[in-house]
Amino acid sequence: MPYANNDLDNTRKFLKARLLTDRASFHGYETEWQQVHDLLERTAEHGESNSALLLGPRGIGKTSLVTSVLVQLLAKETFYRNSLVVYLNGLIHIDDRIALKSATAQMNLENAVDGKVFGSFAENLAFLLECLKAGDRKKSKSVIFLLEEFDLFCSHHNQTLLYNLFDVAQSAQAPICVLGLTARLDVIELLEKRVKSRFSHRQIFLLPKEDGFEERMELFESLLKLPTEQELRTFEANHPTIPPEALNNDELTLLRNLFNPREFNFPAKWVTQWNRSIDKLVKSSEVQTVLQNMYEYDVLEGPFRMLLFELVNELDEEHPSISIESIQHIGEGYESDDKVKLLAGSSVLEICLIIAIKHHSEIYDRDPFNFEMILTRFGKWANSSSSMQSIERPVVLKAFEHLRQLEFIAPLTGGALAKVQKEYQLHRLLLTYGQIHQAVQRMQFLPTEISQWEQSSLA
Contact 24, 271 (CB under 8 A): no
- Indicate whether 221 and 149 sit together in one domain: no
Strands (E), 66-108: 83-89
What's the CA angle centered on 404, arms 402 and 408, to 5 degrees?
A: 110
Judge if 311 and 413 occupy the same domain.
no
Same domain, 163 and 276: no
Task: Round to whole Å and give the CA distance between 274 and 4.
Answer: 12
Q: What is the distance between the alpha carbons of residues 235 and 325, in angstroms, rounded to a whole number?
A: 32
Pairing of strands 142-148, 83-89: parallel
- Is residue 185 in a domain? yes
How many domains, the chain? 3
CATH of the domain at 433: 1.10.10.2450
H helix or E strand, kind and range, residue 302: helix 301-313
- Shared domain for 196 and 79, answered yes or no, is yes
Contact 286, 324 (CB under 8 A): yes
Q: Same domain, yes or no, for 183 and 218?
A: no
Domain ends where: 335, 357, 388?
335
Query: Which of 160, 187, 205 is at the close of a domain?
Result: 205
In this structure, the strands spanning 142-148 and 203-205 are unpaired
Measure Cα distances from 453 to 110, 351, 390 in Å. 76, 11, 18
- Same domain membership, residue 177 and residue 122: yes
Same domain membership, residue 308 and residue 349: no
Type of residue at 60: I
Containing H/E element for 362? helix 348-363
Report the distance separating Cα 374 and Cα 381, nearest Å: 11
- Domain of 394? 340-455
Q: Say whether both 353 and 331 belong to one domain.
A: no
- Report d(CA 96, CA 250) in Å as an integer: 20
87 and 201 co-located in one domain: yes
DSSP count for the chain of H helices, then E strands: 22, 7
Q: Which of 205, 226, 243 is the last residue of a domain?
A: 205
Q: Evaluate whether residue 20 is within a structural domain.
A: no
Q: Are 309 and 349 in the same domain?
A: no
Neighbours of 304 (CB within 10 A): 20
Report CA Rg, the chain: 30
Residue-level pLDDT, tens digit, the chain, 459 residues: 444 568 889 999 999 999 988 877 888 889 999 999 999 999 988 888 899 999 999 888 899 999 999 988 998 888 888 888 999 999 999 998 899 889 888 888 877 777 677 777 778 877 887 776 654 455 578 899 999 999 999 998 889 889 888 988 888 778 889 999 999 999 999 999 999 999 998 999 998 887 788 888 999 999 999 998 888 888 888 777 888 888 888 888 888 878 888 888 888 899 999 999 999 999 999 999 999 888 888 888 888 999 899 999 988 888 888 999 999 888 887 767 788 889 999 999 999 999 999 999 999 988 999 999 999 999 988 888 777 777 899 999 999 999 999 999 999 876 666 678 888 999 999 998 888 988 998 888 888 899 999 888 655
In a domain, 260, yes or no: yes
